[in-house]
Amino acid sequence: MASNLNVMIGGEAGQGVQSVGAILAKAFARGGYHIFADQDYESRVRGGHNFFRVRISDSEVGAVCEAVDILLALNQESIELHRGKLARGGVVVFDMEKAKGLDGGDDLFGVPLERLAKEKAGDRLMANTVALGVAVGLVAYDSDIVADVLREHFGTAEAGESNVRAAAAGYQYAVSNLEGRAKHSLRPLGDRKRMLINGNEAVALGAVAAGCTFMAAYPMTPATSIMEYLAGKSAELGLVVVQPEDEISAINMIIGAAFAGARAMTATSGGGFCLMVEGLSLAGMTETPIVVVLGQRPGPAIVLPTRMEQGELEFALHAGHGEFPRAVLAPATIEDAFWLTVKAFNLAEKYQVPVIIMTDQHSASSYTTVERFDLGQVKIERGLLLSEEEIDRLGEYKRHQITESGVSPRALPLEGKQLVVTDSDEHDEEGHITEDAETRKRMMLKRLRKFNGLKAELGQPRVHQMPHAEITLVGWGSTYGAIKEAAALLQKDGAAANILHLNELWPFPAEAVSSILDGAGKSIVIENNATGQLARLIRAETGIKVSGSIRRFDGRPFSPEYILREMRKEVS
């Protein structure tokens, strides 16, 4: 049995590339395999070139792999673009009656995809499902599992059964015409149940677990599916999900909801976050707890709306007019996406600040198998939120009372007998507008003292130290899986590298980062941007200048192979 199989489905928008990829991933996950699956698609409804990669392994995987074992080419362009990525013994599955001018190499496995779809399922459009069946047949996987997943996906009516017949036709064709082409054999490993989810789904689940009851957002890739997921569950879970006219309205709506006591969030991308910046400052000034998901994509302007980048770190750290505390988190894994979302809501309410969760297209839309989240470990911490009885006992309520921690006891409007007042202008402890210089100074220092508590709350970076390692690989956010595997490949080759990876970025853990990088030999920062934003942040906060950097800003994610190729250039 192969421990690792990489399948790519390539075609144009409208050919069902994503559907086949998702079904394939789910079918192998159902058989006990670990999965990492990502999708690359253009910003169009029809045409263009899309592909979906599914990595299947008997051990945990967290990154893409460049080499392809099976390429399901739903059009000829996919053969031309990806045939050169085949691993040794890899095979291209294509429609022999459609492709032209191919050289007939040993890596080609022609199948009459459309004809089989028409004959066995009654619809040539199910050629993609025939190709799915061929892939499953090539590795002798359990076709019954695939049939079950197809019925779940398409239903048990005619559409579902037609797809089952199409997949069976492809499976049988592969089995009957293998001719020694099968380089892998993947049998189910067992019935261990793992979740197969993407980053946006994990964020949405984390929000639900954290007690979020209100979301307002305007659709913007790659954050849109968070809103879609929560909207689909809103009636079942008692959520209110609103799509207002724009991102300005979205952030102001969640500020209003949070001021009234709801746990509230929004989700957007860089362009939408630009519009939210004034609202972010309003939350900072009024000390209103909100959660904002910033799904990064390449900029400036529209650029590559369906691609990935980590180009907004400095933007998230400093967005807003004036100075006010905030926390910035950047999930490194699917598990992180869930647990850091829970933490974001707790931090927001405990310190009455905006919290930003930074994701990107790669982490948002990539699927991974994870163990079920232990909901018994979820803790809801609402900070100094006063009960109605506590409010009624107060002789006088000051919404912005100056405290040693900077956090004021919080009452909700319409609860109890106290009047809750705040203002977007500078205000006194009661919340009334003022221009008194001394009051301004005291209130500013009060708000900034929250940094001390926030800093103590944030977790330490992930650190993997190897004996005698002379290189430390540094990253943040979604690069973790690729960096971790690159370090493992180095170790396999007799080299060694430490890993320093940040998923809780602000307030910056300067002491922890300094303790690792001081005397660490060569340090290489790996990030998906052109200017080295994490490297610059490290130097600003610690005074340490890293030795080198590997930057990728073509809209594509890092792979372990890419990192190793660039490392050789850095250390040569």
How would you classify residue 565: left for phi > 0, otherwise alpha for psi between -120 and 50, otherwise beta?
alpha
Long-range contacts of 99-102, Cβ-Cβ distance < 8 Å, separation of 24 or more: 99/73, 100/76
- Per residue in 272-330, pLDDT tens? 999 999 999 999 999 999 999 999 999 999 999 999 999 999 999 999 999 999 999 99
For 23-42, what is each residue's pLDDT tens digit?
999 999 999 999 999 999 99
Residues in the chain, overall count:
572
Question: Would you state the pLDDT for residue 181?
Answer: 64
Please enumerate in sequence order all residues whose Cβ is within 8 A of that of 409, keeping only pairs 6 or more positions apart, or say none.
384, 386, 401
Which of 98, 102, 106, 105 lies closest to 130, judged by CA?
Answer: 98
Q: CA 212 → CA 217, 248, 345, 394, distances in Å?
A: 14, 20, 8, 28
Closest CA to 23 of 3, 6, 9, 42: 9
**pLDDT in the model for residue 169:** 97
Listed residue (570, 533, 534) closest to 550, CA to CA: 570
Tokens for 492, please give them: 């396999």
502: nearest Cα among 481, 480, 469: 480
C-alpha span between 258 and 253 (Å, rounded): 9
Q: How far apart are CA 555 and CA 40, in angstroms?
A: 10
393 pLDDT tier (thresholds 50, 70, 90)? confident
| Mean of pLDDT values over 505-530 | 95
**DSSP-based three-state secondary structure for 551:** strand
Q: What is the DSSP letter of 117?
A: I
pLDDT of residue 267: 98
The confidence score (pLDDT) of residue 182 equals 60
Given this model, what pLDDT does residue 417 score?
A: 79
Which alpha helices (DSSP H) does 155-241 contain, by range?
158-176, 199-209, 224-237
pLDDT in tens, 223-262: 999 999 999 999 999 999 999 999 999 999 999 999 999 9
In this prediction, residue 240 carries a pLDDT of: 98
Burial class of 29 by CB neighbour count within 10 A (0 to 12, 13 to 18, 19+) = buried
Tell me the mean pLDDT in the region 561-566: 96
Determine contact, residues 18/39, Cβ cutoff 8 Å. Answer: yes
**CA geometry: angle 295, 301, 305, nearest 5 deg:** 50
Q: What is the pLDDT of residue 204?
A: 98
Distance from C-alpha of 258 to C-alpha of 344, rounded to nearest angstrom: 14
- Is pLDDT of 184 > 80? no
Which pLDDT belongs to residue 156? 86
Task: Note whether 47 and 12 are within 8 A (CB).
Answer: yes
Q: Provide the 10 A C-beta neighbour count for residue 315.
A: 18
Q: What is the enclosing helix (H) or strand (E) of 247?
A: helix 247-259
Q: What are phi and psi of 92, to 5 degrees?
A: -105, 125
The torsion angles phi and psi of 25, rounded to 5 degrees, stand at -60, -45
Question: Is residue 342 a contact partner of residue 202, using CB atoms and an 8 Å limit?
Answer: no
352-389 tens-digit pLDDT: 999 999 999 999 999 999 999 999 999 999 999 998 88
Give residues with Cβ within 8 angstroms of 240, minimum separation 6.
213, 214, 215, 234, 257
pLDDT surpassing 60 at residue 2: no
Residue 53 to residue 67: CA distance in whole angstroms: 10
Cα within 13 Å of Cα(17), Cβ side:
29
Contact 48, 13 (CB under 8 A): yes
Is residue 529 within 8 Å of residue 557, measured between CB atoms? no
Count Cβ atoms below 10 Å from residue 47 Cβ, excluding itself. Answer: 11
Beta pairing, strands 327-329 & 504-506: antiparallel
**Averaged over 106-113, what is the pLDDT?**
93
Provide mean pLDDT across the span 152-165. Answer: 94
pLDDT of 183 strictly over 70: no
Average pLDDT, the chain: 95
Question: Tell me, what amino acid is at 188?
Answer: P
Confidence tier at 571 by pLDDT (50, 70, 90)? low
Q: What is the pLDDT of residue 455?
A: 96
Side chain identity at residue 1, one-letter code: M
pLDDT score at 1:
42
Distance in angstroms (rounded) separating the CA atoms of residues 571 and 558: 19
- What share of the chain in percent tops pLDDT 90? 88
What per-residue confidence (pLDDT) applies to 389? 85
Cα separation, 539 vs 535, in Å, equals 6
CB-based contact 381:349 (threshold 8 Å): yes
For the chain, list the domains and their CATH numbers: 4-176 (3.40.920.10), 196-377 (3.40.50.970), 388-455 (no CATH), 462-571 (3.40.50.920)
Q: How many helices and strands in the chain, by DSSP H and E?
A: 20, 20
Separation between Cα atoms, residue 339 and residue 345, nearest integer Å: 10
Query: Which pLDDT tens digit goes with each residue over 453-482?
Result: 999 999 999 999 998 899 999 999 999 999
Q: How far apart are CA 324 and CA 314, in angstroms?
A: 15
Kindly list the strands in the beta sheet with 264-269, ordered across the sheet, starting from the edge strand earlier in the chain: 240-242, 214-216, 264-269, 290-296, 354-360, 327-329, 504-506
> Is the pLDDT at 434 greater than 80, yes or no?
yes
